[in-house]
Amino acid sequence: MFPGIFMPIFRKDGTTMRKSFTYQGKRYYIRCKDETEFEVKKALLLKDIEEEKVIESTMLVRDWAAEWLETYKSAQCNEKTYKDYTNRLNNYILPEIGHIRLKDVKPVHLQKILHNVRNMSQSRIDKMYQCICQIFTAAENNDLVIKSPARGLVKPKGVSGSHRAITDYERAMILKVAEDHPHGLWIKIMLYCGLRPGETSRIKIMHFDYDKELLFIDGTKTYNAKRYVPISPELLQEVSLLNKDPFEYLFTNKYGMPINENNRKYMWKSFKKALHVEMGGKLYYNGIVEPCRVAPDLVPYCLRHTFCTDLQDAGVPINVARDLMGHSDIALTSKIYTHTTDRAIENAATLINEFHKVAR
């Protein structure tokens, strides 16, 4: 076949025909309703060919996703975040489009993925959206697609996924159980110091400053995650009674290693069981008898959220709270500070009344 010679092939396919033409030794296929539409589409395709915009790659989405994950995420993410990306791909994205050629993915394919997760929390939907956009933006930057099909996607409005503060009743029960429970100190450190659960794994004895009553947090979540937070003399006393070496980790598993994610899940499960009993629940063969007295949305991260709410109630300025929380953006702190409590309003009333007395 000579360059520029066109060989039409007609095939009935409902109301459309499939025609092909060969140009510069390559065959291209076009679906059209009639000869006029064929000529229009052929002209547009030739224009793209001349401008070198046609992508010839036959790479499948699943192959590119594996390459993207290894190249763009393996070195930049911690183990937990990397695993989260892998789960998003394997559980939601690749089952839908993994078998499709990268260049054949359309916006409707990606919108369907987001539609399928519409009942998840808004936080998870946002992460799914970001993952999809990153994959196809990287594909566009590497000339694997002409234009990212992720442009213009509409994020569903999911269920509110923000962690809540604990109630006064829950606080009383949690603190009562924490006094005698083996993992009580772990619970109180998160509640009174605002740590992310993962940050508790990296606490060493030398991170406690007994003179200044401060705890250094070796955080990695954001660039502000490494920080100092105040810690009460009572908690410092509990730590000192452990008689650990300065280089030892505060929380360790049975092998003496710093606790990992699985250890933390076990610790919370054990504490939750004891909390269930304290709230009037029963156990059967060491298992919780339903209904569980502990609210299903009460998770360790709620303790950190409560710490931030306590900062607001105490009148701590939001810019200081951002530093204590280790947030990279004050907007994250403001989402919690906007949850105005009765105590915060009472404190504000006291402060403004005192100010007005002085100003008269």
193, 340: one domain: yes
Whether residues 179 and 290 share a domain: the answer is: yes
Portion of the chain with pLDDT greater than 70, in percent: 82
CA distances from 10 to 25, 30, 47, 298 (A): 20, 10, 23, 63
| Inside any domain, residue 5 | no
* Predicted local confidence at residue 100, as pLDDT: 93
- What whole-number distance in Å separates Cα of residue 349 and Cα of residue 315? 11
**Which of 4 and 233 is assigned the larger pLDDT?**
233
d(CA 202, CA 78): 14
Whether residue 328 contacts residue 316, with contact meaning beta carbons closer than 8 Å, is answered with no
Helix (H) or strand (E) holding 26: strand 26-32
Give residue 182's pLDDT: 95
> For 59-100, what is each residue's pLDDT tens digit?
899 999 999 999 888 878 888 788 888 888 987 899 899 999
pLDDT value at residue 10: 44
Examine the domain organization and report whether 130 and 67 are in the same domain: yes
3-state secondary structure of 15: coil
Q: Identify the band that residue 350 occupies on the pLDDT scale cut at 50, 70 and 90.
A: low
Please state the domain count of the chain: 3
Among 94, 123, 141, give the residue marking a domain's end: 141
SS3 (DSSP) at 288: strand
- Do 135 and 280 lie in a common domain? no
133 contacts 141 by C-beta, under 8 angstroms: no
What pLDDT is stored for residue 15 in this prediction?
59
Confidence of residue 354 (pLDDT cuts 50, 70, 90): low
Q: Give residue 265's pLDDT.
A: 94
Residues 186 and 263 in one domain: yes
Range of weakest confidence among 46-55, 129-138, 317-326, 349-358:
349-358
Greatest CA span in the chain, whole angstroms? 96
Higher-confidence position of 54 and 20: 20
Which one has a higher pLDDT value, 352 or 323?
323
Q: Residue 11: pLDDT band by 50, 70, 90 thresholds?
A: very low
Give the span between the Cα atoms of 304 and 104, in whole angstroms: 44
The string of DSSP codes covering 193-252 is H---GGGGGG-BGGGEETTTTEEEEE--SSTT-EEEEE--HHHHHHHHTT---TTSBSSB
CA–CA distance, 115 with 154 (Å, rounded to integer):
9
- Residue 198 located in a structural domain: yes
Q: 174 pLDDT exceeds 60?
A: yes
Sheet order of strands, 208-209 included: 208-209, 214-218, 226-230
Q: Which domain holds residue 227?
A: 168-352
Place of tokens 């993952």: 131
Which helix (DSSP H) or strand (DSSP E) does residue 28 occupy?
strand 26-32
Q: How many residues does the chain have?
A: 360
- Residue 53: predicted pLDDT: 56
d(CA 147, CA 93): 19
How confident is residue 29, by pLDDT bands cut at 50, 70 and 90?
Answer: confident
Please indicate, yes or no, whether residues 36 and 176 belong to a single structural domain of this protein. Answer: no
Residues 175 and 299 in one domain: yes
122-141 vs 61-68: helix crossing angle, rounded to 10:
100
Question: What are 103-122's pLDDT values in tens digits?
Answer: 899 999 999 999 887 766 67
Which one-letter DSSP state was computed for residue 289?
P
pLDDT of residue 119: 62
Convert the pLDDT of each residue in 193-225 to its tens digit: 999 899 999 999 999 999 988 999 887 776 778
* Mean pLDDT over the full length of the chain: 82
With beta carbons less than 8 A apart as the criterion, state whether 333 and 322 touch.
Answer: yes
**Strand, coil or helix: 117:** coil
Residues 6+ apart with CB under 8 A from 241: none
Are 196 and 268 members of one domain?
yes
Decide if 147 is inside a domain.
no
